[in-house]
Structure 1
Amino acid sequence: MSHTPYPDSYYAASANPAPDRPALQGDHETDVCVIGAGYTGISTALFLLEQGFRVTVLEAARVGFGASGRNGGQIVNSYSRDLDVIEKQVGPQQARLLGEMAFEGGRIIRERVQRYAIDCDLKDGGVFAAINAKQLRHLEQQKALWERYGHTQLELLDDRGIRSVVGTERYVGGMLDRSGGHIHPLNLVLGEAAAVESLGGIIHEQSPVVKVQQGAMPVVFTAQGQVRARFVVVAGNAYLGDLLAPLAAKSMPCGSQVIATEPLGEEMARRLLPQDYCVEDCNYLLDYYRLSADRRLIFGGGVVYGARDPANIEALIRPNLLRTFPALRDVKIDYAWTGNFLLTLSRLPQVGRLGDNIYYSQGCSGHGVTYTHVAGKVLAEAIRGQAERFDAFAALPHYPFPGGRLFRVPFTALGAWYYQLRDRFGG
């Protein structure tokens, strides 16, 4: 039987101890079978277990193997497309529900960390950094938009204010979201998985699903076993592959690259990020960064469409790192890794149901840390028969990529190239 280990990332190297969970063997029955042990799957399982359901989770590799254990570790509110875009697409009731949920994920994470004593280096505060005056005006509009939905933990930063939180001359201003923050993402999902097991949930690792048989009692098959359930939750996102064709047709896996420096020491760390906030800029192809608990700078960015692993991740990311922090010219990069996220054409998540009892959520489009925790709650509500919030997501319009699956990578890359030029020239 194949064994898929974690990728060679800083997160895997600094992960809290976790047990090896056995692969699925033989025939089993449960209330809910969850496919995928990332944030979406584990969050859903935890909400269901708290409501008294029996839950079995099947993971192809290890808990948090995919984007949940490789991302930038930033708690960022809203969606990859903001609420003003959603308002233009849906009715007022649906917009209200989606707007309320846009700021719920961070609260769920903090509640989980407190309730289950999860050690994941949680820090408060996230900054959106504007590179030019146009981006700063956009942040002013974004602040007004979010405050209209009751999110008031925001502060605009002028040129002096931004330099008090980020040690660079690159930005003209920004916005601080005090409800944002950052975490060790793999340790968060490992802690949530331990909480699942503490409530009687079962997690099988090294158990890739090979087939889902639909029906009144769906059956989920792996190479060496099967699970019969009343409900199935599909939470594989960019690592689902072609298991369920309808879910693959309107989405595309993409890769984002991350590097972690050697430990910087207290003086340099304070110089770069004196308030220990996480930061992302306002470009379409954005950079994002933060300090780890041992004062490494974790810096990510870039997109590889089609989820290929780049030959030299450090060469892709280091120029952006030095553009922001020239003082790090001689710093050593200890880790470099890539992780896949699932992109939708609308850049809004896809939520729905296949038949009567197979639920799914996918396509976070790079905004998954907070959204996936909301999705877990929404999916659990729907399975319990409370579908209003589920329906608000399910009714969002989604479209296939231009040119179909064959041409989705070149067409999307062409669009990204256009936006990259706009970023470069301040458009």
Structure 2
Amino acid sequence: MANTPYPQSYYAASANPVPPRPALQEEVQTDVCVIGAGYTGLSSALFLLESGFKVTVLEAAKVGFGASGRNGGQIVNSYSRDIDVIERTVGPKQAQLLGHMAFEGGRIIRERVAKYNIQCDLKDGGVFAALTPKQMGHLESQKRLWERFGHTQLELMDQKRIREVVNCDQYIGGMLDMSGGHIHPLNLALGEAAAVESLGGKIYEQSPAIRIERGANPVVHTPQGKVRAKFIIVAGNAYLGGLVPELAAKSMPCGTQVITTEPLSDDLARSLLPQDYCVEDCNYLLDYYRLTGDKRLIFGGGVVYGARDPANIEAIIRPKMLKAFPQLKDVKIDYAWTGNFLLTLSRLPQVGRLGDNIYYSQGCSGHGVTYTHLAGKVLAEALRGQAERFDAFAELPHYPFPGGQMLRVPFSALGAWYYSLRDRLGF
């Protein structure tokens, strides 16, 4: 049977040691079968196990193989579309529920790290950096919006203040969110998987779900085994493939690229980000960066629609890094990789149920680290019969991409070009 290793990323090279996990080679019975051992699946499994369910997790490759183990490692609150957009779309009542949940994912991460002693280089503090007066105005509105929903750990920064936390002359100001922060994302996933197993959950790696036998007692088939369950949670996101055709029509895998420098001297690292906060700019196709626990700079950005792997990732991202930090021109890049996230047309997550017993959450649209942890809690609540928060997500409207499967990539790329042009021109 094929063995799928981690991609050659900094995260894989610096991952905490974990025991090998077997492939499923038998038939097992469980309460809940979770498909996918990324954050959505692991968070769901943990909340369910804590509620007394018997849980089996199937992973096609290794724990955290997909976006959960490849992302920028930033804890960013809210959703890819903010609460005001949701309010205009669905009205104040549903927006109230979703708004109060928008800051819960980061709290869940910190609770998990503390409760299960997960070693993942957790640091507090995230910066939204504005390049134009329009972006600064948006941050001022965002601060008022978030504070309306009880989120108060925010500080607006003028040009002088942001230079104290980001040594980059591109920014005219920004906003600091002290409930944001950053982590080693793969080590967070590995720690959550260990927590799942400590509560009696089973995780099978190299065990792709190849077919779901639907019905009153659904069965998930893998190449060498099967899982009989009362409920199924589909948590494959951009790596789900065609397993559930209904979930593919209104979403599109997209790739983002990341590079990691060689270790920097303490003085150089401190000169770039004196408070060790993570940073993302306010462009439509944004850049994001932070320091690792061993003083490397991780820098990411760009989107490849349709999730093709670029031939030369460093050639795409290094110029972005040097524009922000020209002092790194002689620094070596040790790692470069790409990872996929799942985009929806609305840029809001898709949550729902197929029949009576197959639940799903997908389509974080690049905003997944915090949302996926919330999603696990919401899915677990629904399986326990508490569906109010699940329904608030499930009732969000979603639409297929214009042009269908064939034209969704060029249409989306054209839209991204338009918004990137607006960013560059300051509109």
Structure 2 length-normalised TM: 1.00
Which residue number in structure 2 is paired with residue 260 of structure 1?
260
Structure-2 residue corresponding to 1:191: 191
CA distance in 1, matches of 2:156, 2:193: 37
Which whole-Å deviations, capped at 9, do the CAs of 1:37-64 have from their partners, x for residues lacking one? Answer: 0000000000000000000000000000
Aligned mates of 2:92, 2:422 — CA distance in 1: 32
Structure 1 equivalent of residue 385 of structure 2: 385
Q: Which runs of 4+ in 1 moved over 6 A?
A: none
Distance in 1 between the 2:378 and 2:235 partners?
Answer: 13
Residue in 2 aligned with 1:163?
163
Summarize the alignment of residues 335-354 of structure 1 with structure 2, pairs less than 5 Å apart.
Answer: 335-354=335-354
Q: Tell me the distance in 1 between the aligned counterparts of 2:318 and 2:133.
A: 25
Residue 406 of structure 2: aligned partner: 406
Please state whether the residue corresponding to 2:210 is helix, strand or coil. Answer: strand
Q: Count the aligned residue pairs.
A: 427
Specify the code of the residue in structure 2 equivalent to 1:168. Answer: C
Question: Which residue of structure 2 aligns with residue 332 of structure 1?
Answer: 332
Aligned pairs (5 A) from 1:209-288: 209-288=209-288
Q: Which residue of 2 aligns with 1:41?
A: 41
Cα deviation per residue 1:354-409 (whole Å; 9 max; x = unaligned)? 00000000000000000000000000000000000000000000000000011100
1:363: which partner in 2? 363
Q: Secondary structure at the match of 1:164?
A: helix
Work out the CA distance in 2 between the residues paired with 1:330 and 1:402: 44
Mapped to 2, the partners of 1:319 and 1:423 lie a distance apart of 18
Extract unaligned runs of 5+ from structure 1.
none
SS in 2 for 1:86: helix
> Secondary structure at 1:8's aligned position in 2?
coil
Alignment partners' CA distance in 1, 2:19 and 2:67 = 20
CA deviations over 1:149-203 (Å, ceiling 9, x no partner): 0000000000001000000111000000000000000000000000000000000
- Partners of 1:215 and 1:197 in 2: CA distance: 28
Equivalent positions of 1:24-173 (< 5 A) are: 24-173=24-173
What amino acid is aligned across from residue 311 of structure 2 in structure 1?
A: A
- Between the aligned residues of both structures, percent identity stands at 79
Shift of 1:423: 1.2
1:209, CA displacement in angstroms?
Answer: 0.7
**1:303-342 to 2 correspondence within 5 Å?**
303-342=303-342
Q: Which amino acid aligns with 1:86?
A: I
Does the residue aligned with 1:373 lie in a helix, a strand or coil?
A: helix
Shift of 1:26: 1.4
- Residue of structure 1 equivalent to 2:292: 292
CA distance in 1 between partners of 2:182 and 2:226 (Å)? 37
Which residues in structure 2 correspond to 1:7-18 (within 5 Å)? 7-18=7-18
Rounded to whole Å, the distance in 2 between the matches of 1:53 and 1:19 is 24
Distance 1:19 1:417 in 2: 45
Distance 2:117 2:264 in 1: 28
Superposed CA offset, 1:193-225 (max 9, x none): 000000000000000111001111100000100
Does residue 319 of structure 2 align to residue 302 of structure 1? Answer: no
> Shift in Å at residue 11 of structure 1?
0.2
- What's the CA shift string for 1:233-272, capped at 9, x where partnerless? 0000000001110001100000000000001110001100
SS at 1:232 equivalent: strand
Partner residue, 2:419? 419
> What runs of 5+ residues in structure 2 fail to find an aligned partner?
none
Could you tell me how far apart the structure 1 residues matched to 2:253 and 2:132 are? 31
Report how far residue 91 of structure 1 moved: 2.6
- 2:133 maps to a residue whose letter is A
Q: Deviations over 1:108-129 (max 9, x none)?
A: 0000000000000000000000
**For residue 218 of structure 2, what is the amino acid of its counterpart?**
P
